[in-house]
Amino acid sequence: MNIAKLSSQHLNLYFGSKHVLKDVDIAFPENQVTSLIGPSGCGKSTLLRAFNRMHDLSPDAKIEGDLYLDDLNLYKSKVSVTEIRKRIGMVFQKPNPLPKSIYDNLAYALHIHKFPKQQIPHLIENALKESYLWDAVKDELKKPAVKLSGGEQQRLCIARAVVLRPEVILMDEPCSALDPISTGKIEELILRLRENYTIIIVTHNMQQAQRISDKVAFMYLGQVIEYDTCDMIFNQPKQELTKNYIRGSFG
Residue ranges that bind ligand ADP, judged by CB under 6 A: 15, 18, 20, 38, 40-46, 58
Extract the runs of DSSP E, i.e. beta strands, from 3-141.
6-15, 18-28, 33-37, 61-69, 72-73, 88-91
- Could you say which of ligand ADP, Mg ion, none residue 160 binds, taking C-beta under 5 to 8 angstroms by partner kind? none
CB of 118 to Mg ion, least distance (A): 40
- Whether residue 170 contacts residue 200, with contact meaning beta carbons closer than 8 Å, is answered with yes
The answer to whether 231 and 202 have CB atoms below 8 angstroms apart is no
58 vs 236 by CB, closer to ligand ADP: 58
Residue 20's binding partner among ligand ADP, Mg ion, none (Cβ under 5 to 8 angstroms by kind) is ligand ADP
**Which of 130, 158, 152, 151 has its CA nearest to residue 140?**
152
Q: Which does 114 bind (CB under 5 to 8 A by kind): Mg ion, ligand ADP, none?
A: none
The least CB distance from residue 203 to Mg ion, in Å, is 10
How far, in Å, CA of 123 to CA of 163, rounded? 6
Alpha carbons 231 and 251: distance in angstroms, whole number: 21
* 45 near Mg ion, judged by CB under 5 A: yes
Number of shown-chain residues binding Mg ion (CB under 5 A): 1
Contact region with Mg ion (CB under 5 A), list: 40-48, 58-66, 141-149, 159-167: 40-48
